[in-house]
Structure 1
Amino acid sequence: MPTQPRRRSFWILALLLTFGVGFLAGSTADELAFAKDTSDPYSKLETFAQVLSQVERSYVEEVNQEDLINGAIKGMIQSLDPHSSFLTPSELKELRDRTAGQFVGVGIEVGVRDGAITVIAPLPGGSAEAAGVQTGDIIVSVNGASARSWTLQDAIKAIRGEEGTSVDLEFQRKGEAETLHLLLERKVVQVVSVESELLEPGYGMIAVKSFVRNVGQDVRTQYDTLVEANGGEALKGLILDLRNNPGGLLAEGVDLANIFLESGLIVSTEGRSGLELARHEAQGRSSYIDVPLVVLVNGGSASASEIVAGALQDHHRAVIVGARTFGKGSVQNIYDLEDGSGLKLTIARYFTPAHRSIQGQGITPDIEAADVELPKPAAEPDRTREADLPHALENHTTQAKPEAERKEITNLPTRTALDQLKAFRILSGKEL
């Protein structure tokens, strides 16, 4: 039996015991006696060292001490909540690449819902989106291994891999008896975070796909692009599309909400025992965009998306259209550790301006609209109108309004949002 692992275990035990005793320096004899009680958490460090030593000495196969210790740390963090995790150096790098807008993978954002690994949203440009993966799909297995008892980090580790390789994913889709097997290629996914489109004169839509860096600035740029496409005239209404946006950086969500709120609270965060950790207020910047606004959400809208939707809803700044959002109302912080690894730890819950917690509940839209496509309208039949009748009286005072150029919109939430903006303009007396 090699002696090196046993030596390492001895030194780990010594360090752990020293670490525990260090917290007791200056204690009285009674306090020291109490510290030896098994209820003291530091007494468990000795148990941990004993288990580690026994595994290294007696396990049927050779073990890697670093893997054992990392596994112990992962197990400790995984006992907390689905979004806290211990990250190896490579996992930490991938997380930072993702928030920077580029990573290698199949292009899905996953979370834990009702104990199952669930697709929050397929990402544009990924192989999952191209294969038809949908929000709400449950991952049943990865490369034949059942994922039913996995943690979120287990799933992420199994799905990720080298660029150009493939992974076999099995999905269970709501309402379907048979599971769906898809062989998906891992490739570089370049997240296009913001896109815009002028739906028809005066009305535009900005879609925010994820909250990576510089999203707020990108939205401002896209808004200016829409105004330019509208002949330089201010928009009559704007649709902000947050559907299938899994979230991202809290600061970017705050920055986006700040564009459309002139003043007031955007979001607050509360830690243990309800202690308020932070308040983010609208700054009333000169770049504030005062335009009638509708926000689209669905079950794939999570985290920072819910912060934005909740703030705009509570301030009555926008009408929220779509379906109830995912319900991730917690804040994670990333801590860099000395060996290059990282700790992603849930440190707070966030609350909307009306102090609503989104955790597990999500944002309920003001107007529900299923994310379905409408059939294309049939051509309007030719009808005889008053002006077509023989000897019809002429209208000498009013000319018919020319029909505006418009794109055919068959997506129900988008159509509903556009109709809401037009109705607001009519009722406000600006479109008579």
Structure 2
Amino acid sequence: MKKLAKRIAALAMTAAMMTASAGAITQDGQSETWFDGVWALIDAFGLKAEHDPYVLQNYINKYLEKHPDEMYDVLNDILSLLDTHSMYLSSEEYSQGFSTLEGFVGIGVGLQETENGVQIAEVMRYSAAEEAGLQIGDLIVKINGEDATKLKNADVASKLRGEEGTSVKLTVRRYGRDITVTCERRQVNRVYVSNKTMADGVEYIKVSAIGSQNDWSAFSEIWDSLPSKNTRAVILDLRGNGGG
């Protein structure tokens, strides 16, 4: 792609030289005529074109119609001119590199094995489990009406996950009382934003990643709540955050 950009610039310079007079070189070494014309053409038809941004786009589209197998390289060449953090990924690359951010389909709980059975160790924010009122410490005793007290972590996790839009009935034991809820399975994204009040007027906010809309919603909620806490200082912890 960089070669394509260079070709455009070369064509622009050639056209300008052929159509414009050479012009005089001033005492400070600058041309009065053709250099300015060439620069104007490069600016108009180059990657930074502002007045007619579709010129280069149409050129690239025509090129890719003839060479569709080069789309991956062409897109990444263009993005490399923007900054070092921009890139085009295939679906396979995205799944491999961002699988922890992609999440999974389920009800949104973390599980822990105990001597009494499998209990809920985490309830993820914005999940179906949170909406159903499930709590940390709830002991899972039935799944879809079947006894689950003898199941292992992996077995419970397998039964709670499934196709998006399907439902699972869960009976949990909380302080000796059995509670039954129904949760609809959906995409679950772990929230990578958390906060803690360190002292009066001092708030600590940890942002490990912005992996989904849930992370932005969590950060917005925390940030918007600061005035009500009379916050005077914020510690924003971005350690381990790769950016994005």
The TM-score with structure 2 as length reference comes to 0.44
Per residue, is there more helix in 1 or in 2? Answer: 2
Larger radius of gyration: 2
